[in-house]
Amino acid sequence: MKKIVLMAIGFLAIFTTHAQNYPHRSNVLWVTEPDHQDWLYELGDEAKVAISLYEFGIPVDDLEISYAVGPEMLLADTEGTVKLKNGKAEVSLGTANEPGFRDCWFKAELNGQTYKHHVKVGFEPDKLEPYTQFPDDFVSFWEDAKAKAAECPMVVEKEFVPEYSSNKVDCYLVKIQAYEEGQQVYGYLTIPKKEGKFPVVFAPPGAGIKPMDPMKHVFYAESGVIRFDMEIHGIRPTLDRETYKEISRSFGNGENSYLVNGLDNRDNYYMKKVYMSCVRALDFLTTLPEWDGKNLIAQGGSQGGALALITTGLDERVTACSANHPALSDMAGYLGNRAGGYPHLNRFNDMLTPEKVNTLQYFDVVNFAKLIDVPVFMTWGYNDNTCPPTTSYVVYNSLNTEKDSYITPINEHWVSEKTRRVILDWIKSNVK
C-alpha cells in the first residue's frame, strides 16, 4: 500500500546546506503550488507552479522573479523572469519524456537582499529503473565477505551511561570488535527499564563524522523498544565536538571522504568494513537477554537509511526495515543523464571511472534492495538535493516485497518529528 502525505506548501527563503522550508525568524516566505495536488504528472504533461512571495506576511507585488528550470540535479534547460502581479505569478516547468523529476529554482532581490527557493515535480517516477547493474557474483561476493568477517572474534565492552538514563530507560555505551581484530565500532544502547522482552531496532548513522545523541530517539526505549544507535568509524562518541570536527576535516569531506576511500577496488573500499560491521552489530544485538528473540528491525535515514536497507539485504535475521531518503542509491545514475545518489561522485574529477563504477555496483543500495524479502517502509521528500527523490524511487521500485511509502513532497533532507513517530508506529505494527 502506498501512502502520500502532502505537508504545507510553503517553501524556504534562504537556501543553505541544511535548508528549512520555513526559515527560522525570517521576514520573507515563498509559497509555491504545483497545479497537480500530489506534484506528480504523466509523461508529456506540462507542469505549472503558482508562486507567491511574502514579506512580514504581506504579499510582495510588482517584483521581478528570475527562474531556471531543468532536470533534477542537472543543468537548467530553461531560464526566464516573471513579475508578481497582485502578489502572484505562474511559471511553467515544461514537461518530461522520460520518468524523473524537474527542478525550478527561483531568485528574488528584495530590499538589497537575495532570496532563493526551489520546487521539484515528478513525471511518472514509479516507472524509474536503476542505472546500476546487478553483478553476476554479487551474492557470492557478500557471502564470502560475511564468512571472512565472522572469523573475527566478537569482543564487547559495555558501559552504563547515567546522564542518558532515566527512570524509564537504561543507556549503555557499547564497543564492539568488528571485521578484523583490533578494529571496533561504538554505539549507544537504550533499553526499557522494566521487566520483559522487547523488539530490537538497529539504527546505523547518517553520513559524516560527528557526535552522537542517543536522546534524539530515546522515545523508542520509552515506548518499549530496544534501540542501538551505531557509529561506523571506530571513534569513541564521547569525544568533544571540536575533536570530531578535526577528524572530519581529515577524512570526512570531498575527495578525502571515507566514501571514496579505496573505491578503485571492491575489496579495498572503506564501506566493505562498514557493511560487515553492521552485520557484527546484529551478532551483538541478538545476544541481548532483553531481546524478544523474534523482532530485529533496521531503521535509519540518509546514509543510515542506506545501511538499514543494505543490512536487511545482507542478513536474514532482520525482520523489517524502515529507511528515510536513503543515500548510496543508484550512485552511477549520472552516467544515465539523470540524478544519481549521494555522495554525488560526479562532482569529483574522474570519480565515475569504469573501475569505480564497477566497485559501486557491489555497494549500491538498489542491488541489496533486490534481495530483501521482509516488510519495508520508506519515506522521502521531493525537494531533497542531498538524496534526490529520483534515487529514493529507484530503490522503492526495486523492492520486490511487502512495502509501504510515506511521501512528504515539500521536504528537503529532513523528516519532521511527526514522521519520526509515524516510523515508530510502523515498526511496532510489524512486531510479531
- State the first-to-last Cα distance of the chain, in angstroms, to the nearest integer: 19
Average pLDDT over every residue of 415-427: 94
Q: Which of 217, 233, 344, 413 is catalytic?
A: 413
CB-based contact 294:320 (threshold 8 Å) = no
Same domain, 94 and 179: no
- The reported pLDDT for the residue numbered 22 is 53
Range with lowest mean pLDDT among 239-248, 265-274, 290-299: 239-248
Same domain, 207 and 347: yes
Tell whether the model's pLDDT for residue 194 goes beyond 70: yes
Q: How confident is the model at residue 429 (pLDDT cuts 50, 70, 90)?
A: very high
CATH number for the domain spanning 104: value is 2.60.40.1930
In the chain, % of residues over pLDDT 70: 94
Active-site residue, 144 included: no
Same domain, 157 and 114: no
Q: What is the pLDDT of residues 353-378, one digit of tens each?
A: 999 999 999 999 999 999 999 999 99
Tell whether the model's pLDDT for residue 74 goes beyond 70: yes
Q: How confident is the model at residue 253 (pLDDT cuts 50, 70, 90)?
A: confident
Burial 366-394 (b: 16+ CB within 10 A, else e): bbbbbbbebbbbbbbbbbbbbbbbbbbbb
Same domain, 209 and 287: yes
CB-based contact 185:232 (threshold 8 Å) = yes
Q: What is the pLDDT of residues 174-183, one digit of tens each?
A: 999 999 999 9
Q: Which of 229, 384, 392, 405 is catalytic?
A: 384
Last residue of a domain, one of 126, 157, 174: 126
Residue 300: inside a domain: yes
SS3 313: helix
Q: What is the pLDDT of residues 306-359, one digit of tens each?
A: 999 999 999 999 999 999 999 999 999 999 999 999 999 987 667 899 999 999
- The reported pLDDT for the residue numbered 254 is 76
Tell whether the model's pLDDT for residue 265 goes beyond 70: yes
Tell whether the model's pLDDT for residue 411 goes beyond 70: yes
Active-site residue, 413 included: yes
Tell whether the model's pLDDT for residue 11 goes beyond 70: no
Range with lowest mean pLDDT among 40-49, 244-253, 334-343, 387-396: 244-253
Residue 211 or residue 377, greater confidence: 377
Same domain, 95 and 143: no
Backbone conformation region of residue 178, classed left if phi is above 0, alpha if psi is from -120 to 50, else beta: beta
Domain limits at 77? 8-126
Virtual torsion, Cα 232, 238, 243, 247, nearest 10 deg: -10
Active-site residue, 344 included: no
Same domain, 275 and 226: yes
- The reported pLDDT for the residue numbered 14 is 30
Number of domains comprising the chain: 2
Tell whether the model's pLDDT for residue 10 goes beyond 50: no
Average pLDDT over every residue of 194-199: 97
Range with lowest mean pLDDT among 83-87, 123-127, 345-349, 425-429: 345-349
SS3 211: coil
Scan for cell 502581479, then name that residue.
85
Same domain, 313 and 196: yes
Same domain, 198 and 110: no
Mean pLDDT computed over every residue of the chain: 92
Q: Which of 165, 302, 322, 392 is catalytic?
A: 302
